[in-house]
Amino acid sequence: METFPEQTPPSIDYAQPLLEHNQLATSYAIQTQDLVQNFGQKVAVNHLNLSVRPGEFFGFLGPNGAGKSTSIKMMVGLLRPTSGKVYVGGVDVWQDPLRARALMGVLPEHLNLYERLTGREFITFAGHMYGVPAADVTRRTEELLRVLDLADDAEKMIVDYSVGMRKKVALAAAILHRPQVIFLDEPFEGIDPVSSRVIRDILQDLTRRGTTIFFSSHIMAVVERLCTRVGIINQGVLVAEGTLQELRERASGEDKDATLEDVFLNVIGVRNENHNLSWLE
């Protein structure tokens, strides 16, 4: 039987305590039960059942159009599921959205930022929105700006930020209130190697302190390095889930040296075909 390491309860400054709504869901940081999203005839997410323990660093993988962003949007309260349930910290996200949102930090796929605010104003605004005491907002904002290498551009309006800078400012706003659970949709896309290292360090530090992180990515090396568990979704269906070791054993049998990329390609059934363009010959 699978065992999980004992987790110290996350130290939460400002979020509400866990509720006893659902006995099963409370032992998980995130739980989805038969989550479905249909867009007309298209089944984008097909009965997704996922359970993520507190303190886990969960990587969500899948090819383009597999249903990752759609799943995340349903988990964080941005897109109402066609059917199914989502619990975050034991709170039903669609029954009790405000309480659920207080427990989470979110870096969505499409960043809807306040373009006319400066970076500093935006992060500060996010802190106040979550009810963080003013002195802490100021201190944390300055630290985040410095660590994420945004201090020199803190007075610039977000409309003038690069793609990577926008992502970093959105990440700062997502973590400033020290949420229990953080959802990140492609956090490393468009981020330079230096900032990528900084973000990895911050996220690892958060999980060490009990925060749960759920993130989607196409960057296998990052997922391999960071994640304690991985889920692979293909055409809306969760096709594999487990630790890297478990996935390796299941997907690659005897090949102990299989990389996550090997496992991924194997699980989603990519064959070694000729991908040359005929008209280049």
Ligand X SMILES: Nc1ncnc2c1ncn2[C@@H]1O[C@H](COP(=O)(O)OP(=O)(O)OP(=O)(O)O)[C@@H](O)[C@H]1O
Interface segment toward ligand X; rule CB under 6 A; list 25-33, 61-69, 172-180, 248-256: 61-69
Q: In whole angstroms, how close is the CB of 68 to ligand X at the nearest point?
A: 3
Question: 232 near 61, Cβ under 8 Å?
Answer: yes
User: Pick from 251, 255, 256: which is nearest to 266 by CA?
Assistant: 251
Among 66, 158, 232, 258, binds ligand X (CB under 6 A): 66
Q: In whole angstroms, how close is the CB of 88 to ligand X at the nearest point?
A: 19
User: In sequence order, what are the residues at sequence separation of 6 or more whose Cβ sits closer than 8 angstroms to the Cβ of residue 173?
Assistant: 122, 123, 125, 126, 127
Residues in 69-128 that interact with ligand X by CB under 6 A? 69-70
Residues in 24-53 that interact with ligand X by CB under 6 A? 39, 42, 44
Q: In whole angstroms, how close is the CB of 185 to ligand X at the nearest point?
A: 7
Interface segment toward ligand X; rule CB under 6 A; list 49-57, 58-66, 95-103, 122-130: 58-66
Residues in 229-248 that interact with ligand X by CB under 6 A? none
d(CA 53, CA 29): 5
Q: In whole angstroms, how close is the CB of 263 to ligand X at the nearest point?
A: 18
Report the b/e string of 131-154 with b at 16+ CB within 10 A: ebeeeebeebbeebbebbebeebb
Asked whether position 141 contacts ligand X by CB under 6 A, the answer is: no
Among 54, 55, 67, 231, binds ligand X (CB under 6 A): 67
How far, CA to CA in Å, does 64 sit from each of 61, 69, 109, 216? 10, 10, 13, 11
Among 62, 81, 105, 119, binds ligand X (CB under 6 A): 62
Question: 198 near 229, Cβ under 8 Å?
Answer: no
Residue (44 or 144) nearer to ligand X, CB: 44
User: Pick from 111, 199, 127, 124: which is nearest to 161 by CA?
Assistant: 111
| Contact set with ligand X (CB under 6 A) | 39, 42, 44, 62, 64-70
